[in-house]
Structure 1
C-alpha cells in the first residue's frame, strides 16, 4: 500500500464527517431559499406532495454529492502536496 494512501485514510475519514455536516447545513439553507419553508419534507410525511418529497431528495443528494467530491478532491490535493504522490 502506498504511503500516500495510508496518509490519506485518516484524513479522508475526518473530511467525510466534516463534509456531511457542511452538506447538511447547505441543504437546509438552500431549502429555505428555494421553497421558503423551514423544514424539508420526510419521505413518510403524509401532508407533503410526492413532487415536494422528490424535489427535496434530489436537491439533498446533489448537494451531498457535490460537497463530498469537493472535500475529497481538496483532501487528496493536500496529501499530494505533503507526500508528493496522489492517493489512489
Structure 2
C-alpha cells in the first residue's frame, strides 16, 4: 500500500501542474464571459476598484479549487483502476 502512495507522487505533481494550467485558462474565459475585456486585476492595480479585485480573486480561487479537486479525484480513481489501490 505504501508503494502505491509513493509511486503516485510524481503523477500527482504532474496532475497538479496540468490542473493549474487548465484552471488559469478557465478563469480567463470566465472573466471575459463576465463582460471584462481586460486582464483580471492584480491586488496592487491602482486603477481597479476593491470590488473588482475581490471578485476576480474569489472567482479565480473557486475555479482553481474545483479544477484541482476534479483532476486529483480523477487521477486517484484512475490509479485505483490500474493498480487496485487507492493512492491517498
TM-score, shorter chain, exceeding 0.5: yes
TM-score range, shorter chain: over 0.9
1:34 paired residue number: 34
* Deviating 4+ runs (over 3 angstroms): none
The unaligned stretches of length 5 or more in structure 2 are none
What are the equivalent positions in structure 2 for 1:10-29 lying under 5 Å apart?
A: 10-29=10-29
Query: How far, CA to CA, are the matches of 1:14 and 1:84 in structure 2?
Result: 21
2:61 paired residue number: 61
Checking the alignment, whether the CA contact within 8 Å between 1:4 and 1:80 is kept in structure 2 is no
Query: How far, CA to CA, are the matches of 1:76 and 1:42 in structure 2?
Result: 34
Query: How far, CA to CA, are the matches of 1:59 and 1:81 in structure 2?
Result: 33
Kindly report the root-mean-square deviation, in angstroms, between the aligned alpha carbons of the 2 structures. 1.1
Q: Using structure 1 for the length normalisation, give the TM-score.
A: 0.94
Shift of 1:39: 0.7
